[in-house]
Chain A
Amino acid sequence: MLRIRRFEQQALKYYNQGIMGGFLHLYNGQESVAVGTASLMNGHDEIITAYRDHGHALAVGMGMNECMAELFGKGTGCSKGKGGSMHFFAPDKHYWGGHGIVAGQTPLGLGLAFAIKYKQINGCAVAFLGDGAVNQGVFSECLNMAALWDLPIVYVIENNGYSMGTSLERSSAVNGSLAKRAEGFCVEWATCGGFDLYELRANLGAAMERARKESKPMVLEVSTYRYYGHSVADANAKKYRAPEEIELYKTDYDPITRWQNQLLKEKTVTQAQIEKIDDEAKAEAAAAAEFGIASPWPSEESIFEDIYHEVDHKTEAGQTGRFFFSE
């Protein structure tokens, strides 16, 4: 969790200096959700998320260098500078991105679950979405199909209370729980806090295990909070939430502080060890930023690479498709 937070703080610094482009949707405050999930993956589970994806990426083991370089748009980035902040991917780590269209990833998650079942793998898919994404029609379609076909998927709603500047109260007709909508599709659901890592892991773990064992979908709504605006470029970041509200979450609900206190109480770690971990995370993030800055831009030729498999694998080109571009 500390690594994610320090990574994003470095990113924020360079974003504010204007040398990093695009959108930067920070995950600050929500780190426990990605870390909790990654810690429960069994090697056959697959995960996918939306555009607030730095945390999930680092949690599954992507390197800070490749992620930071991607933010700078460099050729050494995880997507060779073609994806940016919203589009990190690591299929080798069972991590399928990073998606910029709200709820567009929810049927892809269904496809991951479908493939798991088709191949008779002992795993499940976990697809993350926001409280705003729940209102997209495609998510409801997914719940119907997941239930109809008994697909092993856990939809995790990271409910941070806001979709951009619109509060939950102003976007959702159903008061109380969003996960409750699953009832309409006979899909099991639960809610839990995302601030306490143990509580979160217990709930996530049960949902994932049920998905694997019984091949059943589930919706788990996790309450969480983000400290920064919707994105760093969010012009109204300070207008739609009271400063006291943000302060309260930072002081009383921060998942990192909470877990640190828990570990100290258990005497699992010492204060000195925590500081050391934090120092290492800071140093790693700073080095990653340097790596990103020092890395070269992608080559001009790379504009036309990675569009079609056949174009990139010349041996097959003779068989499938000859003229892709006029020049």
Chain B
Amino acid sequence: MPLITYRQALNDAFAEELTRDENVFLMGEEVAQYNGAYKVTEGLWKRFGCKRVIDTPISEAAFLGLGVGAAMMGLRPVVELMFWSFAYVGFDQIINNAGCIRYMSGGLINVPMVIRGPANGGTNVGATHSHTPENFLANTPGLKVVCPATPYDAKGLMIASIRDNDTVCFMENTLLYGDLGEVPDGSYTIPLGVADVKREGLDVSLIAHGRAVLTCLAAAEILATEHGIEAEVVDLRSIRPLDEETILNSVAKTHRAVLVDENKPFCGVSAQIAALLAEHAFDDLDAPVLRVTALDAPAIYSMPLEKLQLPDAQAVVAKVLSSF
């Protein structure tokens, strides 16, 4: 299998889908002639033309809403947010319209749209540019939320998301765009709502999504070599639908859970999983469910402090050791 970047994997997914279905179009700030602020859409405007790959003005509310309207009419918009932090300007369109129209119309109207872009901290750009709003989005029944950690997952999940008949909020990570991974040529899909066990283990379950999965894999390596602890790493891949079965099966096997989350702890994704385990895995647990999350403050600009704010492998290792 060819080794390509996360960015290229997404780019391949768009090219496949733009070729396959003429109802698919890409839209967003700088996605076309500029080739994408993060080069995720590089070359697509040249290849598919300005009807299919479209630069928008800086008008998040209007172009997100335009996407919803076009999707209602059967088109399949893939709308880029330069950062998910900017989604808040268009949250009305995402939550009230994309999220609710199917329900409020009694199932008459679908909104088959992908809203995508990077959502991450850790890039030293301060509070307004470091939001990871997957918890807000997943809190809206009607929206799906997908967070791939690897190039292979990014491509398969993106193709599945474009073909999905509901609105998928697809959350990438600028720190992953350059990561390499094995990705097959051609089309393949990864179903939304199916987690992936990225490393098998018997002693503790590390449960995470997005870049935190890589943090967990690094921590698992340290735990194995330095402490003889075999950690299982569960990559959620999608937050909603959430693959509760895989989470519960893993914890039933390891009897310990440490949740790792670059989201804030308060009402965050890890809080949801902790509740799931409290309700359904209480008897399986040999230790309390523990969490390693972003610190509960707006993202700080100052570099060394920002580093403290996001979970790293050492923090995960320390938390795991504290549970034994």
Q: Is B34 an interface residue (CB 8 A)?
A: no
Stretch in B93-101, B222-230, B287-295, B314-322 with 4+ CB within 8 Å of A: B93-101
Q: Which residue of A lies closest to B60 (CB)?
A: A141
Known contacts A79-B108, A118-B51; is-contact A320 B67 (Cβ 8 Å): no
Q: Which residues of A contact B244 (CB under 8 A)?
A: 323, 326
Q: Is A309 an interface residue (CB 8 A)?
A: yes
| B103-144 at interface with A (beta carbon < 8 Å) | 103-110, 112, 141-142, 144
| A94-120 at interface with B (beta carbon < 8 Å) | 96-101, 104, 106-116, 118-119
In the complex, number of A-B residue pairs with CB atoms less than 8 Å apart: 181
CA distance A96 to B67 in the complex (A): 14
Q: Which residue of B lies closest to A114 (CB)?
A: B70
B65-A104 in contact (CB<8A): yes
| B135-166 at interface with A (beta carbon < 8 Å) | 141-142, 144, 160, 163-166
A308-B107 in contact (CB<8A): no
Give the number of chain A interface residues (Cβ < 8 Å): 56
CA distance A83 to B238 in the complex (A): 29
A114-B69 in contact (CB<8A): yes
**Chain B contact patch, size range:** 35 or more
Q: Is A142 an interface residue (CB 8 A)?
A: yes
B68-A111 in contact (CB<8A): yes
Q: Is B62 an interface residue (CB 8 A)?
A: yes
Known contacts A107-B68, A114-B70, A307-B103; is-contact A322 B279 (Cβ 8 Å): no
Q: Which residue of A lies closest to B111 (CB)?
A: A309
B57-A141 in contact (CB<8A): yes
Cβ 8 A contact of B108, one of A89, A110, A119, A308: A89
Cβ 8 A contact of B104, one of A83, A113, A309, A318: A83
A145-B56 in contact (CB<8A): yes
In the assembled complex, 16 residue pairs joining A and B whose CB atoms fall closer than 8 Å, in A order, are A82-B104, A83-B105, A87-B104, A89-B101, A91-B109, A97-B105, A97-B109, A104-B93, A111-B73, A114-B70, A141-B59, A145-B57, A306-B105, A308-B142, A309-B165, A320-B191
Q: Which residues of A contact B14 (CB under 8 A)?
A: none
A322-B241 in contact (CB<8A): yes
Q: Which residue of B lies closest to A83 (CB)?
A: B104
Q: Which of B56, B96, B193 has the most CB of A within 10 A?
A: B193
Q: Which residues of A contact B92 (CB under 8 A)?
A: 101, 104, 138
